[in-house]
């Protein structure tokens, strides 16, 4: 495989799944009993092949010629007509779904890693698949048999695409304020309202588009309790035929990135004939959406990692091949050296490596908890996995987005002046990456979720399993002779624990002030959690080197250890400052009135 | 003035110039004797007016319709034909130049602050002016009378534009490797070679373009010593007429930002008839360029601040007007509040404020040292100012670019989903900002300049004046009752001092390892230097509040104090971790071989 198309480091991905997380052990569970490491590897290889040989080639043309709005339709890039069936053929719509809906019952952690190749290859091309499977999954979980047959099946089958239609012009982060109305009309509802930022909300790719839309049934309570979930198709099934359902694309938003899958403004029911079909019970719309949120947020985390990864791989390739400058003290006659010889370039690459591989480990471990939360053998295991999943989700959603953006920035920087041009791709990945800190709940929302909803509401109890896992990793590292790295994480872990306690105490008297440090707390917790993953990876690498790994694997393990050392030296020390900031309940932004700006 | 067009905070700018830096005292120096605070204020007001009422309106159209290459010419946006004469009319080409070249002898610190309005309004529109005045300044300083008359005068007069033509495909950061050749041909030279990334290298704006190009005279020494500086016009003066000079635009690079002023690939002498005129002495080309570098790098710093500032002002406006969500505990029936009511949004705004206002102070104080280095009354003062200027320049070049990018990212984030679209401007400013960490020497190059060229070569002596200035600010803050803020900076200052000493010691035995921490050192030094500026500003604000300022000024001073507190709480603590990293001479990136990645 040519280096140009590396996208994701295969060796690292297999290290994560089979040395670190032992995904193959999931096959002992009934749900995954038909699988083996071999079937996992096969699926990963197929995904990698399609991503590298086909999907990646479409990225630049799709970025350059954005999908566009004309004559009431959004015209998808013509390449998508070839790509989408191949992604469907690979089983990406249903591979992680159960046999009952013609899925393959792959663990989410394996499926996610396979998906990472396709995300790295072309985020917006794969976006149509993600949205469709997410929307179909909502019907699968909460919809009636009729809705499953009429709408879920053609989506999972790849004939129709799907969307999540939540946001409205005045209801973004505050979904409780949405205004789209649903009026009962005998069996169905008449939908009336406007949605914005609906990714894939119109396209020329599929014969029908099924919107999973939030709306308020007439007379419903204000706020989130009055919100219900509806299937609102572009064309509805009526007497076994598809008829127009009064859903109009009103235009696209011109976006910084994700040019292949535009955000659409949609109008439902301008002609008074937009039928919606209630999913599940009235008033449970946001509740249903939240049940799907963990999965959606893990996906966003994976976007972040994949987009940082492909840029890192290209920066690495560039740094190894671009001659510029000389070693200290070399004469002007000496040949120029590849820029990877310069320490500061290596620093930028090593930083990208820690973000990318740390982020991938974070996503993979979170996805494995999602697998265990649903399929582990006994209730106690499931409950513990669920607690870890809930706690890790806001971190998994936001760390790759925030730090991934930094990694993407460094990939541009490694390319120098060329990095600022579209002759090279890093600037495009930088543009794509920025969305990940915004959609599916901004980083600010994630921080409130972590501190407010997860830590405060459980009075800190939800931290218990995580702290145990971290303690276990520290112990293992000590046994493997990595005492210095273990100490660094132990100190950071203490910072997390004391900060959590201090903020909990403060929350009892002044919840507003305690919550004002949510972003700092998220950063602190993320640094510790990713540090936990790096320590675990370092322990495995150290053991492999100690017991004599194969020669061709040695550079990989040495690189892992070096990256873990870099992380311990540069990132973990930040915890102390963040802990002090949170624990002091510093008030500068809490107390800053608008007029002082 | 409508808030929409604030660009730069007038109150802050006047605070910097007349309360903090006392630019009016420069008028006691002979060079500035014709000026007064009144003439300064007048110039600033004129620049602000033009920027807000005219130039800013051109930004979005020029970003949307990039200049383009067609039929061998780069077609500049038609709006530039109206804009450029107005920028010239304002005197922006010569206001800081001496009377001898029809300038106004304004101090650089005043001129820079005036320029900041225009940069914030439209960076690439103002770019034509910056490049032209920079190129003309090179001729002014080092060129013959004939070159001054024939080429400098029409540039300063606004008829012709200018460029800096340094970079070649294989000689970017490593200028010593450039290959463009100059062959003596009786009075002039015949130039032959290719340049890339030449901003404004071709345009349909002016009747002629004068390239200040680096080339190697046949037989010259290899490396930087063999490089000479030439005037290479697009059309040359021959018998009082302009004739074609065999300079061909070969195409543009499509850039992430700066769409109004594209980067051009140029070919000199494809037809064997490209005349170049030597500026100064042979072999001194890079030396001349470096003499201009301080000014160019201060300009880049100002780009960074201006681009962060305009985005911050827009984010502030948006946060005050966009309703979304409610206060903790408010019912669903309560009206939504403007997002500035949410602590995390205030955090993002306060962070932008500290970067923007701290950055502006940094640029202004550096520009004032440039004024003093050239025009102070006695040699000792000039020498001291020069030492401070030299030391601060790499920080002034890079801090606004790096932290400004973070500020621009936050401005996008404050706008939520809208921030990711071109309906709003923050994404465009984010794109513009990214170049500032790359051109005129990347951040990596700046870090080597600071640690290697400035600190190591002077054996640390050059730090002396800076540490004295910081000590003075600490003392003043203590006297003003700001002991806690003073302590925080004192501790950070100690971190800078001990780290400098430790790295100097290490450099004696292993310069390569010591230099490998240049980026960390730059970040450490930048944090301390900007902290120094914040402490000085806090002291002034504290005093103003203590002595009873006018009521309408109170929010401004309170905001200054609050931002200084935020900086001390969030940024200064990072110094300890950076100091430990540098002092330990941690080797992870120094020692990472290419094959471990």
What is the rounded distance in angstroms from the CA atom of residue A69 to the CA atom of residue B313?
Answer: 32
Asked if A335 is an interface residue toward chain B (Cβ–Cβ < 8 A), one would say no
Nearest-neighbour CA in chain A from B161: distance (Å) = 23
Nearest to B570 among A172, A442, A581 (CB): A581
Asked if B408 is an interface residue toward chain A (Cβ–Cβ < 8 A), one would say no
Mutate to test the interface with A, among B220, B329, B347, B418 (most CBs of A within 10 A): B347
Report percent pLDDT > 90 for chain A.
96
Protein fold of A161-283:
Butyryl-CoA Dehydrogenase, subunit A; domain 2 (2.40.110)
DSSP string, B198-228: EETSS-SSSS-EEEEEEEEETTPPSGGGGEE
Q: Which residues of chain A lie closer than 8 angstroms to B595, CB-CB?
A: 555
Calculate the average pLDDT of chain A. Answer: 96
Mutate to test the interface with B, among A343, A484, A545, A561 (most CBs of B within 10 A): A343
CB atoms A569 and B581 under 8 Å:
yes
| Per-residue confidence (pLDDT) for residue B352, from 0 to 100 | 98
- As a whole number, mean pLDDT of residues A223-240 equals 96
Q: Are B133 and B92 in contact (CB under 8 A)?
A: yes
Asked if A313 is an interface residue toward chain B (Cβ–Cβ < 8 A), one would say no
- As a whole number, mean pLDDT of residues B44-56 equals 97
By the 10 Å C-beta count (0-12 exposed, 13-18 middle, 19+ buried), B461 is classed as exposed
CB atoms A419 and B438 under 8 Å:
yes
Nearest-neighbour CA in chain B from A159: distance (Å) = 29
Mutate to test the interface with A, among B174, B337, B420 (most CBs of A within 10 A): B420
Nearest-neighbour CA in chain B from A415: distance (Å) = 9
> Given B24, B140, B427, B440, which residue is catalytic?
B440
| Per-residue confidence (pLDDT) for residue B2, from 0 to 100 | 52
Mutate to test the interface with B, among A589, A590, A593, A594 (most CBs of B within 10 A): A589
Q: Are A398 and A437 in contact (CB under 8 A)?
A: yes
> Given A168, A440, A523, A571, which residue is catalytic?
A440
Nearest-neighbour CA in chain A from B288: distance (Å) = 20
DSSP string, A391-436: HHHHHHHHHHHHHHHHHHHHHHHHTHHHHTBTTSSHHHHHHHHGGG
Q: Is A440 a catalytic residue?
A: yes
CB atoms B439 and A427 under 8 Å:
no
Residues 6+ apart with CB under 8 A from B253: A420, A421, A422, A423, B196, B197, B262, B263, B264, B265
| Per-residue confidence (pLDDT) for residue A1, from 0 to 100 | 43
Asked if A345 is an interface residue toward chain B (Cβ–Cβ < 8 A), one would say yes
Does B62 score more than 80 pLDDT?
yes
Residues 6+ apart with CB under 8 A from B148: B101, B139, B140
Rg of the Cα atoms in chain A: 24
- As a whole number, mean pLDDT of residues B69-97 equals 96
Question: In B98-122, which residue ranges form alpha helices assigned H by DSSP?
Answer: 108-121
CB atoms B420 and A256 under 8 Å:
yes
0.90 surpassed by complex ipTM: yes
Asked if B350 is an interface residue toward chain A (Cβ–Cβ < 8 A), one would say yes
Does A177 score more than 60 pLDDT?
yes
What is the rounded distance in angstroms from the CA atom of residue B377 to the CA atom of residue B381?
Answer: 7
CB atoms B577 and A576 under 8 Å:
yes
| Per-residue confidence (pLDDT) for residue B333, from 0 to 100 | 87
b/e map B367-399, b = 16+ CB within 10 Å: bbbbbbbebbeeeeeeebbbbbbbbbbbbbbbb
CB atoms B421 and A256 under 8 Å:
yes
Does A418 score more than 70 pLDDT?
yes
Nearest-neighbour CA in chain B from A416: distance (Å) = 6
Q: Mind spelling out the 3-state secondary structure of B251-301? A: EEECECCCCCCCEEEEEECCCCCCEEEEECCCCCHHHHHHHHHHHHHHHHH
Nearest to B324 among A174, A324, A343 (CB): A174
Per-residue CA distances from B108 to A2, A156, B326, B342 (Å):
53, 65, 47, 40
CB atoms B565 and A576 under 8 Å:
no
CA B260, B265, B268, B271 dihedral sign is: negative
Asked if A515 is an interface residue toward chain B (Cβ–Cβ < 8 A), one would say yes
* pLDDT digits 0-9 by tens, B180-234: 999 999 999 999 999 999 999 999 999 999 999 999 999 999 999 999 999 999 9
What is the rounded distance in angstroms from the CA atom of residue B331 to the CA atom of residue B326?
Answer: 8
Q: Minimal Cα distance from B329: which residue of A? A: A512
Q: Minimal Cα distance from A443: which residue of B? A: B413
Q: Which residues of chain A lie closer than 8 angstroms to B584, CB-CB?
A: 569
> What's the full length of chain A, in residues?
597
* pLDDT digits 0-9 by tens, A453-465: 999 999 999 999 9
Q: What are phi and psi of A263, to 5 degrees?
A: -90, 130
Asked if A316 is an interface residue toward chain B (Cβ–Cβ < 8 A), one would say yes
CB atoms B516 and A343 under 8 Å:
yes
Q: Residue A454 gets which letter from DSSP?
A: I
CA distance from start to end of chain A = 54
Q: Minimal Cα distance from A421: which residue of B? A: B255
State how beta strands B181-184 and B209-217 pair: parallel
CB atoms B591 and A326 under 8 Å:
no
Q: Mind spelling out the 3-state secondary structure of A83-126? A: HHHHHHHCCCCCCCCCHHHCCCCCCHHHHHHHHHHHHHHCHHHH
By the 10 Å C-beta count (0-12 exposed, 13-18 middle, 19+ buried), A219 is classed as exposed
Q: Which residues of chain B lie closer than 8 angstroms to A431, CB-CB?
A: 256, 431
Q: Which residues of chain B lie closer than 8 angstroms to A327, CB-CB?
A: 512
Of chain B residues 423-442, which have a CB less than 8 A from chain A? 423, 427, 430-431, 434-435, 437-439, 442
Asked if A465 is an interface residue toward chain B (Cβ–Cβ < 8 A), one would say no
What is the rounded distance in angstroms from the CA atom of residue A174 to the CA atom of residue A168?
Answer: 10
Mutate to test the interface with A, among B60, B349, B442, B597 (most CBs of A within 10 A): B597
What is the rounded distance in angstroms from the CA atom of residue A126 to the CA atom of residue A114?
Answer: 12
| Per-residue confidence (pLDDT) for residue A294, from 0 to 100 | 84
- As a whole number, mean pLDDT of residues A192-202 equals 96
For residue A290, what pLDDT band results from cuts at 50, 70 and 90? Answer: confident
What is the rounded distance in angstroms from the CA atom of residue A145 to the CA atom of residue A138?
Answer: 13
Asked if B235 is an interface residue toward chain A (Cβ–Cβ < 8 A), one would say no
CB atoms B173 and A569 under 8 Å:
no
- As a whole number, mean pLDDT of residues A8-19 equals 97
Domain boundaries, chain B: 3-141+151-156, 161-283, 442-591
CB atoms B176 and A332 under 8 Å:
yes
What is the rounded distance in angstroms from the CA atom of residue B489 to the CA atom of residue B466?
Answer: 13
CB atoms A223 and B326 under 8 Å:
no
By the 10 Å C-beta count (0-12 exposed, 13-18 middle, 19+ buried), B487 is classed as middle
For residue A2, what pLDDT band results from cuts at 50, 70 and 90? Answer: low
CATH architecture for segment(s) B3-141+151-156 = Orthogonal Bundle (1.10)
| Per-residue confidence (pLDDT) for residue B1, from 0 to 100 | 43
| Per-residue confidence (pLDDT) for residue B293, from 0 to 100 | 81
* pLDDT digits 0-9 by tens, B342-381: 999 999 999 999 999 999 999 999 999 999 999 999 999 9
Q: Minimal Cα distance from B446: which residue of A? A: A344
Please choose, from the candidates A182, A201, A69, the residue with its C-alpha nearest in 3D space to the C-alpha of residue A135.
A201
Q: Which CATH class is domain A3-141?
A: mainly alpha
Question: In A143-223, which residue ranges form alpha helices assigned H by DSSP?
Answer: 145-147, 153-156
Asked if B68 is an interface residue toward chain A (Cβ–Cβ < 8 A), one would say no
CB atoms A263 and B438 under 8 Å:
no
Calculate the average pLDDT of chain B. Answer: 96
Q: Which residues of chain B lie closer than 8 angstroms to A444, CB-CB?
A: 342, 344-345, 348, 413
Report percent pLDDT > 70 for chain A.
99
């Amino acid at each position: 495989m040519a280096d140009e198309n590396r996208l994701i480091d295969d060796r690292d991905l297999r290290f994560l799944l089979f040395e670190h997380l032992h995904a193959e052990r999931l096959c002992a569970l009934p749900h995954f009993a038909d699988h083996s490491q071999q079937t996992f590897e096969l699926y990963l290889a197929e995904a990698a092949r399609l991503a590298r040989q086909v999907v990646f080639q479409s990225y630049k043309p799709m970025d350059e010629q954005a999908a566009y709005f004309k004559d009431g339709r959004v015209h998808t890039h013509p390449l998508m007509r070839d790509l989408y069936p191949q992604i469907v053929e690979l089983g990406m719509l249903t591979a992680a779904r159960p046999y009952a809906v013609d899925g393959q019952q792959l663990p989410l952690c394996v499926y996610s890693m396979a998906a990472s190749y396709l995300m790295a290859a072309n985020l917006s091309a794969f976006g149509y698949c993600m949205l469709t499977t997410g929307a179909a999954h909502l019907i699968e979980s909460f919809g009636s048999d009729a809705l499953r047959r009429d709408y879920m099946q053609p989506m999972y089958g790849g004939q129709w695409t799907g969307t999540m239609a939540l946001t409205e012009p005045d209801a973004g982060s505050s979904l409780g304020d949405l205004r789209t109305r649903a009026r009962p009309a005998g069996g169905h509802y008449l939908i009336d309202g406007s949605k914005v930022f609906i990714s894939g909300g119109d396209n020329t790719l599929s014969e029908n588009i099924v919107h999973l839309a939030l709306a308020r049934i007439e007379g419903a309570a204000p706020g989130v309790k009055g919100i219900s979930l509806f299937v609102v198709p572009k064309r509805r099934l009526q007497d076994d035929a598809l008829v127009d359902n009064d859903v109009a694309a009103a235009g696209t938003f011109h976006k910084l990135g994700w040019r292949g899958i535009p955000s659409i403004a949609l109008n439902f029911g301008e002609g008074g004939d937009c039928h919606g079909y209630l999913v599940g019970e009235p008033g449970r719309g946001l509740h249903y959406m939240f049940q799907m949120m963990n999965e959606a947020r893990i996906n966003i985390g994976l976007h972040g990692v994949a987009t940082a990864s492909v840029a890192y791989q290209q920066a690495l390739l560039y740094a190894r091949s671009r001659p510029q400058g000389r070693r200290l003290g070399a004469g002007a006659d000496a040949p120029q050296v590849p820029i990877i010889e310069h320490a500061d370039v290596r620093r930028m690459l090593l930083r990208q490596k820690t973000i990318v591989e740390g982020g991938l480990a974070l996503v993979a471990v979170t996805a494995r908890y999602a697998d265990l939360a649903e399929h582990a053998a006994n209730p106690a295991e499931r409950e513990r996995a669920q607690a870890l999943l809930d706690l890790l989700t806001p971190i998994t959603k936001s760390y790759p987005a925030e730090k991934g953006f930094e990694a993407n920035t460094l990939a541009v920087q490694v390319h120098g002046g060329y990095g600022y041009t579209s002759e090279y791709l890093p600037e495009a990945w930088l543009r794509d990456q920025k969305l990940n800190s915004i959609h599916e709940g901004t980083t600010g929302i994630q921080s409130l979720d972590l501190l407010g909803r997860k830590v405060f509401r459980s009075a800190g109890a939800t931290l218990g399993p995580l702290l145990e896992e971290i303690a276990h990793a520290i112990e293992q590292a000590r046994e493997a002779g990595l005492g210095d790295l273990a100490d660094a994480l132990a100190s950071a872990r203490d910072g997390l624990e004391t900060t959590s306690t201090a903020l909990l105490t403060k929350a009892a008297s002044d919840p507003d002030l305690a919550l004002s440090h949510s972003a700092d707390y998220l950063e602190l917790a993320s640094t510790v959690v990713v540090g936990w993953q790096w320590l675990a990876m370092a322990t495995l690498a150290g053991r492999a080197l100690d017991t004599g790994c194969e020669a061709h694997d040695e550079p990989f393990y040495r690189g892992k250890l070096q990256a873990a050392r870099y992380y311990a030296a540069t990132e973990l020390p930040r915890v102390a400052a963040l802990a002090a900031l949170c624990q002091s309940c510093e008030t500068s932004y809490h107390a800053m009135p608008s007029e002082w700006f």
